[in-house]
Structure 1
Amino acid sequence: MSTDRLGDLAGAGVSIWLDDLSRERLRSGNLQSLITDKHVVGVTTNPTIFAGALSHGEAYDEQVRELAARGAALEDAVREITVSDVQQGCDVFRSTWEATGGVDGRVSLEVSPLLARDTDATVAEALDLWKAVDRPNLYVKIPATEAGLPAIARTLAEGVSVNVTLIFSVERYRAVMDAYLDGLEQAAANGHNLAGITSVASFFVSRVDTEIDKRLEKIGTEEALALRGKAGVANSRLAYAAYQEVFAGERWAALAAKGAKVQRPLWASTGVKNPDYSDTLYVTELVVADTVNTMPEKTMLAFADHGELVAGGDAVTGTGPAAREVFDAVAAAGVDLTDVFLVLEDEGVDKFEKSWAELLDSVKGQLDAAK
């Protein structure tokens, strides 16, 4: 067996992205070493990641002092700090972006989570971030809330590449893919080159197990308990089956003929929350070509150490019927799946709002200390 397990994973067609970015990673050369040694071809960020980065180390001190000296407003300071990190990240990945024809080498920057229920404000900020970062390998990250769906389409229509985040249910994922096709059709009507627009759809995995496992344990029957740890992977496999269906359709074929690229599924929230489960569960069980797995570094290193691929390197294709059986069994056990997905979306937005508040507080404290 190969000792380069992440290399084998990449060889199976999975794009390995790091779910983290900080100025310390950029300055120390850590990010570059992950690209060189661990086959990393992209980075995702979110408010929680930036809040953590700003609260540790001294890497931001110089910029904070400069911002304080010119009396920058708090939200403007946060914008400049995060944009600067993302610009540097994009520059590190520029050669990857070029080598993959714009498919990989991407860095994501999220619109403010405070705008998750406001379509017009989300579009305005997405376009502002695109202009501020001014790098062709940026992904503007927009949540897949009901208000986010039209914002995704309108942002794509302006030629801006989008990472759609906080997708939990297959039903909402289908709406995301529809928004992608809407956006590309409008982009073509607006005269944009479709070959230059790409997107990923970030389908969350571990949080699904966390919520459903909690409910299965409350039900407590033998049948319910036997289903723990199965819903997250099954949900993702059902999402992949939906992806295959949509991107084999006539509507997509018309866009592909104009140079459009598919919106790849991205497995997000792949760090295992339950210590009873394999620490590579959400990587090993979701290996399939033309997908992205964005991992915390801990998960990435775990796979590098002892991760395994199934025979043939495809753990997903053809698994839709078995995944449906899992979900039918979960529902039959008494889990209200509609409520599960509503709770997960609300919690996802709420968590990022709290992280955004922490980020603002952290920067405010540093600005005050620098005055």
Structure 2
Amino acid sequence: MTTPTAALSAAGVSIWLDDLSRTRIHSGNLAELIATRNVVGVTTNPTIFANSMTNPDDTSYDAETEELAKRGATPEEAIMEATTRDVRDALDVFRPVWEASGHVDGRVSIEVSPDLAHDTEGTIAQAADLWAKVDRPNLLVKIPATKAGLPAITASIAAGISVNVTLIFSLERYAEVIDAYLAGLEQAKAAGIDLSTIRSVASFFVSRVDTETDKRLDAIGTPEATALRSKAGLANARLAYELYEQVFAGDRAAALLAAGANKQRPLWASTGVKDPNLPDTLYVTELVAPDVVNTMPEKTLEATFDHGVVTGDTVTGAYEQSRAVFADLAAVGVDFDDVTQVLEDEGVAKFIDSWHGLLGQVRAGLDAHK
């Protein structure tokens, strides 16, 4: 019998897991999810690694921490060693998926330090370091879509590094991200790099948009405002897919695709439902379209496998309806440009907080082993 996750894959959605741990890799759980849940990739971020490396029930990092402490490693060096090892091992698990998919999937992402979110040159340098240290062709280096991140995306793509662009909330910033990708491909082409080896996804966040917008709608409190709750996230993502279709059908992209380049696929991130009144598979089943990625927390993945109802494409026929949502939001007084700026600022701040929390805990661990 076809499972909902198999149906989702058949509809053109690549299912990635938004989680990674050493235990998940070495226990065989990751391989099991590939076999039974149609998982074809993984995304990580500082919060995920913080949860994994500081889990008191997970002793898999202890020996490595002791060794690093004896070498006098800094917390930053220790995190780099541990996380690149985990990502490398996960990439090896996904290697058959990478080969079977024609190098489309089988991807694992690792993020540059959140402290570099507003540092272009630092991001460029660390992206190159991560690419070299992990040394796997199915890696994606995660770079945030901040203003400083945009030129770093271009430079990294130009150097032949595959990139996952993260923390995209607005259509305007998404357009800049696509432009940064195409500019990088143009530079790579001029440098004689094989464009077919470069891959990228653009991570467009969904549920956080509803959380922030709904908070403002609740404050407005009118029946018209209440009627718009939980509609902005889907509408925003659907219009992002429309933009993807338009740009990659244009002349600039066509010239690069003809030279062997790949499209930068949209990736739906932040797909765990935060409002208990909503269906727990909302940001999966309502964002089905060809050639997209949906990266899910395990809870959302299991909900989708258990009772997700996949009815085919739920994106491309909803563009006008999505535009109407934004017209209605403006009419009740929601400043959506401010919504997306707040979300970007908060997203960067949350990752920085997680990063510094992880640094502190790793520092304590190293000190305990000295």
TM over 0.5: yes
Name structure 2 gaps, 5 residues minimum.
none
1:259-288 deviation digits (Å, cap 9, x = unpaired) = 111000000000001101100000010011
Are 1:20 and 2:19 matched, yes or no? yes
Are 1:322 and 2:321 matched, yes or no? yes
State the shift of 1:317 in Å. Answer: 1.0
Contact 2:21–2:52 at 8 Å: present in 1 too?
yes
In structure 2, what is the Cα distance between the partners aligned to 1:346 and 1:241? 25
1:71-118 deviation digits (Å, cap 9, x = unpaired) = 112211111011010010111111111111211000000000100111
In structure 2, what is the Cα distance between the partners aligned to 1:149 and 1:3? 41
In structure 1, what is the Cα distance between the partners aligned to 2:15 and 2:305? 12
In structure 2, what is the Cα distance between the partners aligned to 1:190 and 1:177? 20
Are 1:238 and 2:239 matched, yes or no? yes
Q: Which residue of 2 aligns with 1:81?
A: 82
In structure 2, what is the Cα distance between the partners aligned to 1:203 and 1:87? 25
SS at match of 1:335: coil
The one-letter amino acid paired with 2:332 is: A
User: For 1:269-284, what aligned pairs fall within 5 Å after superposition?
Assistant: 269-284=270-285
The one-letter amino acid paired with 1:82 is: T
Percent identical among aligned pairs is: 64
Are 1:146 and 2:147 matched, yes or no? yes
Q: Which residue of 1 aligns with 2:367?
A: 368
Name structure 1 gaps, 5 residues minimum.
none
State the shift of 1:338 in Å. Answer: 1.1
User: For 1:174-193, what aligned pairs fall within 5 Å after superposition?
Assistant: 174-193=175-194
1:24-76 deviation digits (Å, cap 9, x = unpaired) = 10111111100011110000000000000011111111111111111112211
In structure 1, what is the Cα distance between the partners aligned to 2:133 and 2:280? 38
The one-letter amino acid paired with 1:232 is: G
In structure 2, what is the Cα distance between the partners aligned to 1:364 and 1:328? 50
State the shift of 1:3 in Å. Answer: 4.8
Q: Which residue of 1 aligns with 2:337?
A: 338
Q: Which residue of 1 aligns with 2:211?
A: 210
Contact 2:330–2:336 at 8 Å: present in 1 too?
yes
TM-score (ref. length: structure 2): 0.98
In structure 2, what is the Cα distance between the partners aligned to 1:55 and 1:72? 18
In structure 2, what is the Cα distance between the partners aligned to 1:286 and 1:86? 28
State the shift of 1:147 in Å. Answer: 0.6
In structure 1, what is the Cα distance between the partners aligned to 2:181 and 2:257? 13
User: For 1:245-264, what aligned pairs fall within 5 Å after superposition?
Assistant: 245-264=246-265
1:201-253 deviation digits (Å, cap 9, x = unpaired) = 00000000000000000000000001001100000001000000000000011
Contact 2:266–2:293 at 8 Å: present in 1 too?
yes
Greater than 3 Å deviation, 4+ residue runs: none
The one-letter amino acid paired with 2:204 is: F
The one-letter amino acid paired with 1:79 is: M
User: For 1:12-161, what aligned pairs fall within 5 Å after superposition?
Assistant: 12-56=11-55, 57-161=58-162
Q: Which residue of 2 aligns with 1:8?
A: 7
Q: May I ask how many residue pairs the two structures share in their alignment?
A: 368
The one-letter amino acid paired with 1:189 is: A
1:144-186 deviation digits (Å, cap 9, x = unpaired) = 0001011100100000000000000011101100111000000
SS at match of 2:360: helix
1:105-146 deviation digits (Å, cap 9, x = unpaired) = 000000001001111110000001000101111000000000
Contact 2:74–2:363 at 8 Å: present in 1 too?
no
In structure 2, what is the Cα distance between the partners aligned to 1:119 and 1:35? 35
In structure 2, what is the Cα distance between the partners aligned to 1:200 and 1:357? 27
TM-score (ref. length: structure 1): 0.98
The one-letter amino acid paired with 1:226 is: A
State the shift of 1:318 in Å. Answer: 2.6
In structure 1, what is the Cα distance between the partners aligned to 2:110 and 2:327? 36
Are 1:268 and 2:239 matched, yes or no? no
SS at match of 2:333: coil
